[in-house]
Structure 1
Amino acid sequence: MVKQERAARTRESLVRAAAEVFTEEGFATASIAGISGRAGVTSGALHFHFSGKDELASTVEGRAAAALRVIIRTAGEPGRSGNPLTVLVDSTYTLMALLAGDVVVRAGFALSADVTHRSRVDLRGQWREWTGELIEAAGRRGLLAEGVTPRDVTPAVVASLVGLEVLGTADPDWFAAPTLTRVWSVLLPGISGKEHGPEDRPDEHETN
């Protein structure tokens, strides 16, 4: 049992170290030596747990994909707001907070779009699909402004949120709730045709 717990801790240290190095250096530049050194283990110990850099990257992406699935699943639970636009707004705050606080999720999103890494998941694509589904639902319920279609809205929302995700990797202020509130304060009136957007106003998420 002790050996299993030690092995689990080592694996966790390696995944986190890999995420940190991938975030700072990118997949192509990251090295096994750099990752193992960051984790405080030898390269041999790293290879005992992972075949190499590709498997580490896939593990990081898998963690991020699992976190994204939780956000989407939780947003659809009974008792949540029935307004798709409110669900979308809430979900973006949850995602940005997770990106700010979890380097593994942050690295996973970056890896899924890194052209030097053969990613098996498209995290930004999954988020785009989820966003599109919510906006389509809002359109069917007549919640979009007159003359506005889901085809108009989805690219603008996705581009804004992906932009925050990319910029936040270098500057965490882009992940902050007040930054996201300012973005939604600009987007929502044009989407919903209401001064403050859906019933869950974005300024309710702002923290001091």
Structure 2
Amino acid sequence: MVKQERAARTRQALIRAGAEVFTEEGFTLASLATISRRAGVSRGALHFHFENKKVLADAVVEEAATAVARMTGEAEGAGDALAALVAATHGLMGKLADDTVVRAGFELSGGPVRGTDAALRRQWQSWVEGTLERAERDGLLADGTSSERAAPAIVAATVGFEVLGARDPEWLSGERMARFWELMLPRLAAATR
């Protein structure tokens, strides 16, 4: 049991160190030697857990996807579908600002250098679309607004905040999100709300 716990801690340390180095240096320039040093483990330990840099990057993306799924699940407890949507966008920006693994996961997920297919952004898009469909079924959307029309705007804006926030953290601030929703909610929510 102690060996398993130690192996799990080492794996987590490598994922976190990988996320930090990928964020700082980019996937191409990041070296496994730097990552193992940052994690405080030998290169042999790194190779025990991850065959190569791509496999480590995939683990960072997977860990980020799990964190985003957990966060959106928690946001669904915020109330109705529109409240969940607002809470989740705030939650995502908070994660991007504070959680290196989530930030690196998004950067790695859509990186043309790695030839990946933006799975993490698709996961977010799918959740936003599903939540807006639920809001529409529940009669929460304004007259003339459909989930099909609203989802691209919400997804594009939040992904834009994510991309811009990678270089300027102000884009990820709660204040920036609050202003976004002050603009969007009156156009999105039914007048009875």
TM score, norm. by length of structure 1: 0.82
**Aligned-partner Cα distance in 1 for 2:162–2:130:** 20
Pair 1:128 & 2:90 matched? no
TM-fit CA distance, 1:13:
1.9
Between the two proteins, the alignment pairs up a number of residues equal to: 193
Alpha carbon RMSD of aligned pairs, Å?
Answer: 2.2
In the alignment, structure 1 segments of 5+ residues that lack a partner are 199-208
1:181 match:
178
**Cα distance in 2 between the residues matched to 1:89 and 1:55:** 34
* Structure (1 or 2) with the greater helix fraction: 2
Distance 2:137 2:45 in 1: 55
Q: Is the 8 A contact 1:64 1:104 kept in 2?
A: yes
Specify which of 137, 152, 155 is matched with residue 152 of structure 2: 155
**Deviation readout 1:66-106 (Å, 9 max, x if unpaired):** 112212333445xx41x211111011112221222210111
Give the Å deviation of 1:37.
2.6
Q: Distance in 1 between matches of 2:20 and 2:100?
A: 6
- Check whether the contact 2:110–2:118 (CA below 8 A) recurs between aligned residues: no
Q: 1:4 to 1:149 in 2, by over 3 A?
A: closer
Hey, what's the Cα distance between the residues in 2 that align with 1:60 and 1:143? 36
Percent of paired sites with the same residue: 49
Residue identity matched to 1:163:
G
The residue correspondences of 1:59-98 to structure 2 (distance < 5 A) are 59-77=59-77, 80-81=78-79, 83-98=80-95
Give the AA of the match of 1:112: S
Q: How far apart are 1:5 and its partner, in Å?
A: 4.3
TM-score under structure 2 length normalisation: 0.88
Amino acid at match of 1:17: A
